[in-house]
Amino acid sequence: MKCRRCREPAVIDIRRHNAAFCRDCFLHHCREQVRRAIDEHRMIEPGERVLVAVSGGKDSLALWHLLGALGHEADGLYIGLGIDEYSEESAALVRTFATGRGLKLHEVDLAAEWGFDVPTAARTTRRAPCGSCGLSKRHLFNRVALTHGYPVVATGHNLDDEAAVLLGNVLRWETGYLARQYPVLPASDGFARKVKPLIRLGEREMAAYCVLEGIDYQVEECPMAAGNRHLGYKEVLNALEDRSPGAKAAFLFGFLDRGHDLFAGLAGIAGTGGGASGEGPVLAPCASCGSPTTGEVCAFCRLRERVRDDTGPAPGPEPASAPSQTPRP
Ligand code: AMP
Ligand code: FES
Ligand code: ZN
């Protein structure tokens, strides 16, 4: 097996590209895919500071590394979710990555700063933990971005993640979610832009990137996500991909190119090029934390209150008042 670019011996083959690469050309390929995703969807403007949400897994650590390699000023954000040793190990891996490379890392500990952790929230709501986990992460990503003046938040969702979400949305014809499934969510008042620069790279490529770059990452899956529907969708898509390489990418990119705007139109949301999010619902500051919300109190604060009512007063201090900064569009 020879490298497609330089004809040296290859270390990895990527069936959907019908190509194999040596180490250096593979790393170049990853950088090019991220650069292309960023350019194609205008994810990051030159000179913008990026806040990268890093979980300690391969995708987000590789993303942080790749953004740096492409010359972006990118700082990290780790959220301690309180999932026992899994969270402690993940935090240690993120800190090692950041200190070893002299990178700036923000940390938020859900229990210490907001009075609850993901296992407690899951017990209170009696729902799958991923629900309160996702809600808390989205809230805190945005809050930290606004507080520290980052116009854009990047997450490590890759091609496999996005194709699995798409399959789930299509299986239930979730037209509202299909209208919003896109690698860029534009900024709006009180919300930073959200971007997914890894959509052109698969899970296997991200693992190979970390190994070849010597990035130590959390290899365990989150113990609370076992049995989660998306893992099943990923298995189904992998079986399809095995029989027809490229099927997964065709499914996702076909939707982004030709399907998304139809659903966005149905939902009355501006299309892909737009940048504006259309006539959204009216937002006002949350009475408790100041984040923009459609109700009086945001979903994150309602969750906090439910857990507090269930378990008694929170040990941590009441967090300071709302972030006031509005991100640049
Ligand atoms: P997940 O929701 O676990 O599939 O993770 C999706 C993306 O969210 C990751 O690639 C990270 O960018 C981000 N993320 C997940 N967990 C954390 C965390 N504990 N702290 C910061 N970012 C996270
Ligand atoms: Fe959120 Fe596992 S990382 S429930
Ligand atoms: Zn709130």
| CA distances from residue 322 to 91, 128, 290, 314 in whole angstroms, order as listed | 26, 29, 4, 19
* CA 299 / ligand 1 centre spacing (Å): 19
Beta bridge partners of 52: 76, 154
Mean pLDDT score of the chain, rounded to an integer?
Answer: 91
* CA 265 / ligand 3 centre spacing (Å): 30
* CA 283 / ligand 3 centre spacing (Å): 12
Instruction: For residue 229, give the amino acid letter.
Output: R
The verdict on residue 88 lying in a domain is yes
- The secondary structure of 80-129 as a DSSP string is E---HHHHHHHHHHHHHHHHHHT--EEEEEHHHHHS--HHHHHHHHTS-H
Indicate if the alpha-carbon torsion angle 99, 105, 106, 107 is positive or negative: negative
The verdict on residue 11 lying in a domain is no
Q: Residue 87: count other Cβ atoms within 10 Å of its Cβ.
A: 25
Is the CB–ligand 1 distance for residue 155 below 6 Å? yes
- pLDDT for 87 beyond 50: yes
**How many domains in the chain?**
1
Q: What is the CATH number of the domain that holds 54?
A: 3.40.50.620
Is the CB–ligand 1 distance for residue 37 below 6 Å? no
Cβ-count burial 206-225 (b if 16+ within 10 Å, e if not): bbbbbeeeebebbeeebebe
The verdict on residue 77 lying in a domain is yes
d(CA 270, CA 306) in angstroms, rounded, equals: 35
Domain span holding position 176? 38-220+227-326
d(CA 60, CA 217) in angstroms, rounded, equals: 9
The verdict on residue 10 lying in a domain is no
Indicate if the alpha-carbon torsion angle 99, 77, 193, 285 is positive or negative: negative
Return left, alpha or beta for 147; rule: phi > 0 is left, psi -120 to 50 is alpha, else beta: alpha
Q: How confident is the model at residue 82 (pLDDT cuts 50, 70, 90)?
A: very high
Q: Which of 29-43, 151-165, 234-248, 313-327 has the lowest mean pLDDT?
A: 313-327
Q: What is the structure's pLDDT at 228?
A: 80
The verdict on residue 13 lying in a domain is no
Is the CB–ligand 1 distance for residue 60 below 6 Å? yes
Which uninterrupted H or E stretch holds 49?
strand 49-53
Burial of 169 (0-12, 13-18, 19+ CB in 10 A): buried
Instruction: Tell me the pLDDT tens digit for each residue of 182-231.
Output: 999 999 989 999 999 999 999 999 999 999 999 999 999 999 987 788 88
The verdict on residue 15 lying in a domain is no
Q: What is the structure's pLDDT at 55?
A: 98
Q: How confident is the model at residue 136 (pLDDT cuts 50, 70, 90)?
A: very high
Atom of ligand 2 nearest to the CA of 128: 4
- Give mean pLDDT, residues 64-80: 98
Asked if residue 132 lies in contact with residue 301, where contact means CB atoms within 8 angstroms, the answer is no
Asked if residue 98 lies in contact with residue 92, where contact means CB atoms within 8 angstroms, the answer is no
- Give mean pLDDT, residues 166-193: 96
Q: Indicate the top mutation candidate among 133, 138, 140, 303 to test ligand 2's pocket, ranked by most ligand atoms within 8 A of CB.
A: 133
The verdict on residue 24 lying in a domain is no
Q: What is the structure's pLDDT at 277?
A: 46
Instruction: Tell me the pLDDT tens digit for each residue of 245-303.
Output: 999 999 999 999 999 999 999 988 766 644 444 456 788 999 999 998 999 999 999 99
Q: Which of 4-8, 250-254, 317-321 has the lowest mean pLDDT?
A: 317-321
Q: Percentage of the chain with pLDDT > 70?
A: 91
220: Cα separation from own chain's centroid: 18
The verdict on residue 31 lying in a domain is no
Asked if residue 319 lies in contact with residue 289, where contact means CB atoms within 8 angstroms, the answer is yes
Q: How confident is the model at residue 329 (pLDDT cuts 50, 70, 90)?
A: very low
- pLDDT for 164 beyond 60: yes
Q: What is the structure's pLDDT at 326?
A: 37
- What is the reported pTM? 0.92
Q: Tell me which residue has tokens 């190509």.
A: 19
Which is nearest to 10 in space by CA: 18, 69, 33, 2?
A: 2
d(CA 285, CA 234) in angstroms, rounded, equals: 38
289: Cα separation from own chain's centroid: 23
